[in-house]
Homo-oligomer: A and B are copies of this chain.
């Protein structure tokens, strides 16, 4: 397999955490990584190969214009490495919009896909994570786009989490078919047909509500990128706040720490399960390559996990399967 192109300058803790994550992936899992960045600014590269790129797109920069203007940006060069068959996939913890625009402009859309979507795994209380999409690529959506998101999300759930016949829900404000805004109502109609039959091989379970996202009762939750992003960040923020309070409560003094000690193995499992770094990397579905987008705050473990996921998705040939699912019927 070709190496994974890692945007060495993306994220709050770049480049150090990127280099460390790449080293861990190499040592622990034998993953080949090429660092994309300015060779003189990466510190000790531990002998990892470097693909030179001199410019950096910051978190606050406008994605579209930055990608157009900064042709030697790390995230742009990483996407070109996939396009030019130099790398098998890209991972970036930098500006999400810039990673998306780079993938769109340099790698290109899969045939048949109207709009790529960001798919984010959300930990569920039982079973594999729930795939939420679109988690922020498209602030305004058409019903037909959401149908493709459903198709791609189902294929992703099967390839990444081994869910054989994914249950796909449409995010709305009431379970009955007539509930929701115009987008949800129109999408419900389209998904009630045979859009998820054939290569998608998923079951449309109808409308689901916000509370169902983490319940384990649904494998894929489809919505527009505005709602999806707001919900994703609300869950991350809300659960993070609760866990912070829990940690503070345990750590208040020696007595509390001693009391909590026997519970710590289970508590740590809870913290890990709910940590965005565990499943956090999101995938841009609908481009002709595997493109992962990690949290800006990713630590080395999160980067290592993202690199593993990138390898897995290349190995199971996710991109071809996505293409089959959205392909217009032959004839």
Q: Report the copy number of this chain in the oligomer.
A: 2
Q: B214 near A173 (CB under 8 angstroms)?
A: no
A48 touches B (CB below 8 Å): no
Q: With the chains together, A146 CA to B173 CA distance in Å?
A: 19
Collect the chain B residues with CB atoms within 8 Å of residue A180's CB: 139, 226
Q: B256 near A233 (CB under 8 angstroms)?
A: no
A197 touches B (CB below 8 Å): no
Q: With the chains together, A243 CA to B125 CA distance in Å?
A: 11
Q: With the chains together, A262 CA to B250 CA distance in Å?
A: 10
**Chain A 224-238: CB-based contact to B (< 8 A → 1; otherwise 0):** 111101111111111
| A255 nearest in chain B by CB position | B262
Q: With the chains together, A223 CA to B182 CA distance in Å?
A: 16
Q: A256 near B249 (CB under 8 angstroms)?
A: no
Q: B235 near A210 (CB under 8 angstroms)?
A: yes
A312 touches B (CB below 8 Å): no
Instruction: Enumerate A194-244 residues with CB–CB distance to B below 8 Å.
Output: 209-215, 223-227, 229-244
Picked from B60, B226, B241, B259, the residue with its CB within 8 Å of the CB of A173 is B226
Instruction: Enumerate A165-198 residues with CB–CB distance to B below 8 Å.
Output: 171-173, 176, 180-182, 184
Collect the chain B residues with CB atoms within 8 Å of residue A259's CB: 259-263
Q: With the chains together, A240 CA to B216 CA distance in Å?
A: 13
Name A residues whose Cβ lies closer than 8 Å to a Cβ of B: 60, 125, 136, 139-140, 171-173, 176, 180-182, 184, 209-215, 223-227, 229-246, 249-250, 252, 255-256, 259-263, 266-267, 270, 274
**Can you spell out 16 A-B residue pairs with CB atoms less than 8 angstroms apart?**
A125-B244, A172-B226, A180-B226, A210-B230, A210-B234, A210-B235, A211-B237, A211-B240, A213-B238, A215-B237, A226-B227, A231-B234, A238-B239, A246-B246, A249-B267, A259-B261
